[in-house]
């Protein structure tokens, strides 16, 4: 997406990229961790990609500690005045 100059195409790609990555949050812990680490890398370049999906990264009681910490890191990166509630 870095080579795409059309802003509308970039928005379209972002809308198509988020749902598959979010669906990985329903897998086992190891897959969740891999997805979270990849999402974290993507957020460095395109922070608006998951701004409406903060709720997906809430911790579950049965998540292992390493997944909880990674999810909390994403929540901190995603939280702003618009979605803090």
Q: What are phi and psi of 16, to 5 degrees?
A: -85, -25
Identify whether 17 is part of a domain.
yes
Identify whether 84 is part of a domain.
no
Global pTM value? 0.80
Which pLDDT value is given to residue 1? Answer: 67
State both tokens at 55.
């709720």
Contacts of 2 (CB under 8 A, 6+ apart): 45
Alpha-carbon gap, residue 6 to 33, rounded angstroms: 32
Query: How far does CA 19 lie from the centroid of its chain?
Result: 10
Identify whether 34 is part of a domain.
yes
Q: What angle, rounded to 10 degrees, do the helices at 29-45 and 65-78 form?
A: 20
**pLDDT tens column, 53-72:** 888 889 999 999 999 999 99
**pLDDT tens column, 13-32:** 777 888 888 888 888 999 99
> Range of 59's domain?
7-78
Identify whether 35 is part of a domain.
yes
The count of structural domains within the chain is 1
């Amino acid at each position: 997406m870095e080579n795409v100059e059309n802003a509308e195409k970039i928005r379209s790609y972002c809308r198509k990229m988020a749902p598959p990555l979010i669906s990985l949050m329903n897998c086992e812990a190891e897959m969740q961790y891999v997805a979270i680490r990849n999402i974290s890398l993507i957020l460095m370049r395109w922070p608006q990609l998951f701004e409406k999906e903060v709720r997906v990264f809430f911790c579950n009681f049965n998540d292992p500690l390493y997944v909880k910490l990674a999810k909390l890191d994403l929540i901190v990166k995603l939280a702003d005045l618009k979605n803090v509630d």
